[in-house]
Amino acid sequence: MSGVRTVEVSEAEAGQRLDRWLKQQLPQVGYGGLQKLLRTGQVRVEGRRAKPDTRLEAGQSVRLPPLAQEAPAPRRVPLEISAEEAEALRDRVLYRDEMLLAIDKPAGLAVQGGSGQRRHLDAMLEALRFEAAEPPKLVHRLDKDTSGVLLLARSAGAARALSKVFRDNLAQKTYWAAVAGVPNPTRGKIDQALTKAKGAQGRELVGADPEDGPPAVTFYQVAARCRALASWLVLRPITGRTHQIRVHCAALGHPILGDGKYGGRPAFLPKRPKGVAAPAQLQLHAREIAVPHPDDGTTLRVTAPLPDHMTAMWQTLTFDERVGERCERALADWVAEMTLPR
């Protein structure tokens, strides 16, 4: 058995979630084991029980319990990618300075690894080091099948600042999506808490829960429609919950096209009328993000172009991309009006 340890949180570790910090300290313990240690109070911060999402502060003392000695889990090593793959990833950089980097994440690339998921962005970050002392750090996430702007921090200080921006819901995020049908009203606010539940075959799903769970708010506006078959939504999530936009659109009765996980059969258009086919990929794109820059607080705004698979769908549905910018401005003005202190 290893003995009780007390570890002090360093300056570089400040701002991290407790569960993620624990994973670094106890690599031999799986996710379920870490949750049990927290749930039973065997891990304590400054002598008190703490939740998995507790944000650590520099100088805090964390008690780690005695554990049976096990073979440590293998350290994560960067994924070996070819020079061509590395160059292709660097070509997707939308913005770079000494503190921040933004890329246009392609649909189909997971941000972090999971069960059986070896190829993911987190293991490829070495290709985005450029001249920095270390690879960039993940500070926010996009679903594997969602394309668009993804921010990375190039220093520990930038990571802490951006983590606080996302934690306090200060990032202004704009998404484009093609959904089944046409919402009525064509502009609205979806205010439904989200909760996790087990779906078919034991898969974990996120569901809309009007009474319980973490609050989640998304504003939307219809930018264009293709008869009654489908519409183009511009969306502004105020909170940043897992799968929030996908679940909210499904709860609205207009699932995102290609989202079989949350939309089921209604997320796939009929093959008639002629020329309108069911999309093979999720039609959701992180179009733009605006955050206060960690250096001076000025607004950094980064936009990603529509990916090829969505451009093809926009052409099929006869949507004009130029309409999107006008709709974004109108929605931003309305959101500002709706969220101003009264």
Q: What is the DSSP string of 220-266?
A: EEEEEEETTTEEEEEEEESS--TTHHHHHHHHTT-PBTT-HHHH-GG
Residue 329 three-state SS: helix
H/E segment holding residue 189: strand 187-191
**Which of 35, 44, 36 minimizes the C-alpha distance to 6?**
44
d(CA 71, CA 86): 33
Annotated catalytic residues are 143
Alpha carbon distances (Å) from 204 to 197, 243, 257, 258, 341? 6, 12, 21, 19, 37
Nearest to 256 by CA among 264, 242, 267, 241: 267
Q: Sign of dihedral through CA atoms 75, 76, 81, 86?
A: negative
Unique residue bearing structure tokens 């690894």 = 113
Q: How many CB atoms lie within 10 A of CB 78?
A: 13
- DSSP H or E run through 190: strand 187-191
Residue type, 114: G
242 neighbors 170 (Cβ within 8 angstroms): no
Among candidate residues 312, 326, 278, the one with its CA nearest the CA of residue 180? 278
